[in-house]
Amino acid sequence: MRIPKFWRRFEGDVEKPDGGALHVFAWGWSESSAGEADAHARERFQSMQQRVSSGLDLPKGYGYGSRPVREQILREMTGAGGSVDALLTRNTYGSVVLNAARAMFIDVDAAGAAARALDQVRGALPAAGLGSVRLYRTAGGFRLLATDRTFTPGSSEAEAAMRAVGADPQFVQLCKVQDSFRARLTPKPWRVGHPAPPGDFPRDAHVQRAFDEWLQKYDRAAASKATCQFVETIGGDSVDPDVAPILALHDDQTKATTGLPLA
């Protein structure tokens, strides 16, 4: 999985061709060391500096799925052979996300009546070429988990299955870029009447204190809500041994079988 552990920011003023100055910052990342992340940030800053000095525009923002997302790694799950099977991260708006190396989750946004949307998802499964699948309802649609075998993120097989059931193209791209399958485990804060968290990861000491206070309130607000609700198993109930612990963690953390209201 390509989910960097280390992030560093480098910034400075860059001279423009008209003699003015532009303040520029760049993020660098690394899966192995802070020093490597720092070097990467400086390298990206220099690239931006050259563009500004040449009178070229800087890229506006960054596209969802065009490079790794900047998320704090909270927990690592290893398999029987010692390989990393999953990482739990906290996304930009404070929710916990499960990033699975081989257990394929597919989120599908639903439009229209819930019953009709559910029938559409069911009807799309044969074309997806999936075997045993657990189907969940989310606040915005549905979630699928293929349980009888594992998949390779970014493979033609995985992407074809995702597209067949109507997954968001940006979600498909992000899974490919990060070499993992993603499933949000805790509610979006505004769905539990809570604001977005202060600052972005990595936070300085002052902002971190404010975030810690935010997190305590968010956890209390989210405790009585489920992120998804288990609906049914389709195609049999076979569960691959490598998928089983991911399934157990997902259903526990999302409160999928508790009957709590969705958020």
Entry pTM: 0.89
Residue 248 lies in a domain: yes
Six token digits for residue 130: 């999936």
Please indicate, yes or no, whether residues 35 and 94 belong to a single structural domain of this protein.
no
Residue 32 lies in a domain: yes
Please indicate, yes or no, whether residues 24 and 77 belong to a single structural domain of this protein.
no
- Which domain covers residue 178, as residue numbers? 72-188+224-254
Please indicate, yes or no, whether residues 45 and 147 belong to a single structural domain of this protein.
no
35: which residues sit within 8 A by CB, 6+ positions away? none
pLDDT value at residue 135: 96
**Structure confidence at residue 81 as a pLDDT band (50, 70, 90):** confident
pLDDT value at residue 206: 95
Looking at the predicted structure, is the pLDDT value of residue 118 above 90?
A: no
Residue 136 lies in a domain: yes
Under 8 Å between Cβ of 97 and 89: yes
Please indicate, yes or no, whether residues 235 and 148 belong to a single structural domain of this protein.
yes
pLDDT value at residue 60: 62
| pLDDT digit string, tens, across residues 26-69 | 999 999 999 999 999 999 999 999 999 888 877 665 445 567 88
Pick the closest to residue 64 from 30, 89, 92 (CA basis): 92
**Total domain count for the chain?**
2
Distances (CA, A) of 143 to 48, 162, 192, 236: 39, 11, 20, 17
Looking at the predicted structure, is the pLDDT value of residue 213 above 70?
A: yes
**Structure confidence at residue 167 as a pLDDT band (50, 70, 90):** very high
Under 8 Å between Cβ of 163 and 170: no
Under 8 Å between Cβ of 41 and 35: no
Please indicate, yes or no, whether residues 29 and 117 belong to a single structural domain of this protein.
no
Residue 117 lies in a domain: yes
The whole-number average pLDDT for the span 80-100 is 94
- Estimate to the nearest angstrom the gap between the alpha carbon of 117 and the chain centroid: 24
Residue 194 lies in a domain: no
Residue 206 lies in a domain: no
